Amino acid sequence: MEQVKILSPATVANLVCGFDILGLALNEPHDIMSIRRIDAPEVEIKNLDSFGLPAEASKNVAGVALLAMMEKLDDGRGFEIAIEKKIMPGSGIGSSAASAAGAVVAANKLLGNIFSNEDLVQFAMNGEKLASGVKHADNIAPCIYGGITLIRSIHPLDIVSIAPPPLFVTIVHPQIEVRTSDARQILRKQILLKDAIRQWGNIGGLITGLMKGDYELIGRSLEDVIIEPVRSILIPAFNEVKFKCKEAGALGGGISGSGPSIFMLSTNEKTARNVEAAMIEVYTKEGIEFHTHVTTVNTEGVRVAN
β partners of residue 266 = 168
Nearest distance, CB of residue 259 and ligand HSE, angstroms: 8
Nearest to 89 by CA among 42, 135, 44, 31: 31
| Cα separations in angstroms, 23 against 3, 15, 272, 296 | 29, 6, 19, 14
Going by the DSSP 8-state scheme, the letter that residue 297 receives in this structure is B
Binding ligand HSE (rule: CB under 6 A), the pick from 30, 85, 136, 293 is 136
Helix axes 61-73, 117-132, angle to 10 degrees: 140
Amino acid (one-letter) located at 9: P
Choose, from 170, 180, 271, 295, the residue flagged as catalytic.
180
Is residue 8 a contact point for ligand HSE (CB under 6 A)?
no
Closer to ligand HSE at the Cβ: 180 or 295? 180
Q: With CB under 6 A, what is the number of residues at the site for ligand HSE? A: 13
- The answer to the question of residue 258 lying near ligand HSE (CB under 6 A) is yes
Strands (E) located in 115-183: 148-153, 158-162, 168-174
Estimate the crossing angle of helix 95-110 against helix 117-132, to 10 degrees: 140
What are residue 38's DSSP bridge partners? Answer: 78
Told to check if 13 binds ligand HSE by CB under 6 A, we report: yes
Q: Is 128 a catalytic site residue?
A: yes
**257 binds ligand HSE per the rule CB under 6 A:** yes
Q: Kindly tell me which of 151 and 245 has the beta carbon lying closer to ligand HSE.
A: 151
Q: Contact between 228 and ligand HSE (CB under 6 A)? A: no
Tell me whether residue 78 or residue 301 sits nearer to ligand HSE (CB atom). Answer: 301
List the Cα angle 149/264/297 in 5-degree steps: 40
Cβ distance to ligand HSE smaller for residue 35 or 103: 103
Active site residue 286: no
Does 109 interact with ligand HSE (rule: CB under 6 A)? no
CB under 6 A: which stretch of 108-116, 132-140, 161-169, 298-306 binds ligand HSE?
A: 132-140
**Residue 87 near residue 94, CB atoms below 8 Å:** yes
Binding site for ligand HSE (CB under 6 A): 13-14, 19-20, 132, 136, 138-139, 180, 183-184, 257-258
- Residues designated as active site: 128, 180
